[in-house]
Structure 1
Amino acid sequence: MSQKLAIGKLAILLASLSEEELAGFRPALQEVKYCQGKVGSMNMQKVISAVETAAKRNELIQDHLYRETHSLYHAILEGIEGVTRGKPAIGEMSRTVGLRFAIVRGRPYNEPQEGEWIAVAFYGTIGAPVKGAEHETVGLGINHI
């Protein structure tokens, strides 16, 4: 099984690059469904909800199908672990995040039986809730649907 489409790489690029910087990747984006968004909070549930809402509004998942919602949830949690360096907590630890996120759904393998996968990428800042006390962070989660 060779990989034909790097949905994780596309998600990271969508979350972190400007519209100008993304111009060269437009052909690859035609092969996937995707959306982008922003969230800033000290509340982890708000971060999760922002991504779930974007995925549903942009029809990347069908919320009446448990496997799709479940797959998205696990991709979100995996991405958050990257953002928070393995400790999925923000407000409880007096940290805040300001994140751009991207969700990409596609078929990363040549074999049709491998099905669709979903990637969630975060890029932004994390730190103490004091302006200027934050640093860059990134996280990526990928799960099969």
Structure 2
Amino acid sequence: MALNKERRIGRHAVLLLLSDESEGELERLRQLDWIGCKGKVGSMEAHKVVAAIETAAKKNGIIQPDLYRESHALYHAIMEALHGVTRGQVQLGSVHRTVGLTFAVLRGNPYENAQEGDWIAVSLYGTIGAPVKGSEHEAIGLGVNHI
């Protein structure tokens, strides 16, 4: 059950997120039989961030919407990534803060053995702070979960 160094899904999700050449990065990841997408979301409500990422993952065929285990795995990866961005307190508007984030979602098998199955990674990067322009700072988060 060795984790292949070249197939670290969390690392690749962060690299995709920060890449200025997302299409080239996605094409390279497709050669590993992985699928991913990238998008943006801004909100004062955490559930809107979750919804935007879930919608992008479904629209891009990363998860099958009719399989609960896939939606559930994605949800946990999103929440783990949000914990990083919000420093452990997944609250936004209720404590007067907002986020402007770029996100990446990546699905694939990070192991040498194909029977290990797919994992999903969600990476978030952007700003968080008071809902006043100029009162924000950078933040990043990563969540990885098995499907």
TM-score, reference length from structure 1: 0.93
Secondary structure at 2:57's aligned position in 1? Answer: helix
Counterpart AA for 2:43: S
Deviation at 1:30, TM superposition (A): 2.8
Deviations 1:75-105 (CA, angstroms, capped at 9, x unpaired): 0000000000000111111010000000000
Pairing of 1:23-38 with structure 2 (within 5 A): 27-31=28-32, 32-38=34-40
Aligned position for 1:135: 137
Pairing of 1:40-119 with structure 2 (within 5 A): 40-119=42-121
Aligned position for 1:3: 3
Counterpart AA for 1:41: S
Deviations 1:20-44 (CA, angstroms, capped at 9, x unpaired): 8x85785345321000000001011
Equivalent residues, number: 144
Alpha-carbon distance in structure 2 between the residues aligned to 1:48 and 1:30? 28
Alpha-carbon distance in structure 2 between the residues aligned to 1:95 and 1:49? 18
Deviations 1:82-141 (CA, angstroms, capped at 9, x unpaired): 000000111111010000000000000112221100000000000111111111000000
Counterpart AA for 2:117: G
Counterpart AA for 2:3: Q
Alpha-carbon distance in structure 1 between the residues aligned to 2:36 and 2:82? 19
Equivalent pairs: percent with the same residue? 56
Structure 1 gaps of 5+ residues are: none
Deviation at 1:17, TM superposition (A): 2.6
Confirm or deny that 1:16 pairs with 2:18. Answer: yes
Deviations 1:4-27 (CA, angstroms, capped at 9, x unpaired): 20111111122223128x857853
Structure 2 gaps of 5+ residues are: none
Detail structure 1 runs of 4+ shifted over 2 Å in the superposition: 22-30
Cα RMSD of the aligned pairs, angstroms, is: 1.7
